[in-house]
Amino acid sequence: MQKISKKQATAMWDNLRDSFLNATTEIKRIIAAQAWEPLGYKSFAQAWREEMIDIPLAGEIRVHVVYQLLEESVPLQDIADMVGGVGPTIVESLARQKANGVPSDCAVVSEHIRRKPRPADTVHIKVGTTLLYEYRRVAHELGESVEDIFFEAGREKFAAIVTELSKKKSSKAS
């Protein structure tokens, strides 16, 4: 790609900003003017299906589209299928906000951020190959796992330690 000037780069960023602002303004204008009717569509929903179904929308634009589709009593799942970038959870959230009287300009589109899974809290114990082999043999004879035996033994040992510490604290307080 060819290098561009600072002026060209600034113009690109300005155009992008203007496009986002203009898109929101245009959606509002289309809804206010019912601009689907002159095109022969019976509803905004029908026009959206025909004209825009394959276009993913930015969050601030989604709200106005979803609100209008809700106004036309389009089923929630149909809205999720029709509006790019909007799933059932977002549609349900916006429907709830609309039902509670939140205007479209104030509605919030929040998306769940999935965090990386955390491993279970784990204690690693190095026992050596020979000892581990012996532990596994014994555990097998008992029909248990080494992990379960260590877990139970650790729990019992810590319970005993906690009891002993409590007794020491009680005797010092007396």
Q: Residue 115 has what pLDDT?
A: 60
Domain limits of the chain? 18-99, 129-173
| This prediction's pTM | 0.53
Q: How far apart are CA 105 and CA 61, in angstroms?
A: 10
For residue range 43-90, list pLDDT tens digits in order. Answer: 999 998 888 877 777 767 888 889 999 999 999 999 998 887 788 999
Q: Radius of gyration of the chain from Cα atoms?
A: 31
Q: Residue 70 has what pLDDT?
A: 95
Q: Residue 129 has what pLDDT?
A: 84
Q: How far apart are CA 161 and CA 172, in angstroms?
A: 17
Contact assessment for residue 82 and residue 57, using Cβ atoms and an 8 Å cutoff:
no
The single-letter code of the amino acid at 62 is R
Contact assessment for residue 84 and residue 49, using Cβ atoms and an 8 Å cutoff:
no
Q: How far apart are CA 23 and CA 50, in angstroms?
A: 18
Q: Residue 33 has what pLDDT?
A: 92
Contact assessment for residue 107 and residue 94, using Cβ atoms and an 8 Å cutoff:
yes
Contact assessment for residue 58 and residue 23, using Cβ atoms and an 8 Å cutoff:
yes
What are 56's strand-pairing partners? 84
Q: Residue 117 has what pLDDT?
A: 62
Positions of the chain with pLDDT lower than 50, given as ranges: none
